[in-house]
Amino acid sequence: MKLQKNCLYCNTEFTARATTTKYCSHKCNQRHYKQKQRDKNIEKALSENNLRVLSAIRAKDRGQSVQPVQQEEFLNVPQACEFLGVSRGTLYNLINKNCVKINKLGRRTIVKKSELLNLFEYEN
Ligand SMILES: [Zn+2]
């Protein structure tokens, strides 16, 4: 029996030999596994608020060698509020006015510290 399926990773149509086959190739299987591991590491780092690990994962994504990064490069919303000394509402106003650019990691909002520093430069 032959089945036409779409690879879970690259979405290419392929002929599966078994109903349990999910990938067009071993390579895709491996790559998807690595991607899932990476997502898991990000989730874990987020839950622990481990910004050092997050930065390392992001650096790796950009193809850079993993180097010790400043812990405060990325801030979550409460940390960004504290850094600016403003309320959550004020921070979201700044975000809505595009004064502060944010990054989304899953459902979480990550603010780059450099973005917040830019803000002071514009207002001066
Ligand atoms: Zn594939």
List of residues 6+ apart from 76 with CB closer than 8 A: 49, 108, 109, 110, 111
| Average confidence score pLDDT of the chain | 83
Residue 38 CA to residue 61 CA, distance in Å, equals 10
Centre of ligand 1 from the C-alpha of residue 105, in Å: 25
Distance 15 CA to ligand 1 centre (A): 11
**Which residue type sits at 46?**
L
Q: Does domain 70-124 match CATH 1.10.10?
A: yes
pLDDT tens, residue by residue, 40-62: 888 888 888 787 787 777 777 77
Residue 79, phi-psi category: left (phi > 0), alpha (psi -120 to 50), beta (remainder): alpha
Distance between CA 54 and CA 69 in Å, rounded?
Answer: 10
Q: What's the gap between Cα 69 and its chain centre?
A: 16
Over residues 66-100, the pLDDT tens digits come to 555 445 478 899 989 888 888 899 899 989 988 88
Report how far ligand 1's centroid is from the alpha carbon of 59 (Å): 26
Gap from CA of 56 to ligand 1 centroid (Å): 27
Contacts 24+ apart (CB under 8 A), 26-34: 32/8
Structural tokens at position 94: 């700044």
* Residue 67 buriedness (CB in 10 A; 0-12 / 13-18 / 19+): exposed
In angstroms, what is the span from residue 36 Cα to ligand 1's centroid?
15
**6 C-alpha vs ligand 1 centroid, how far in Å?**
8
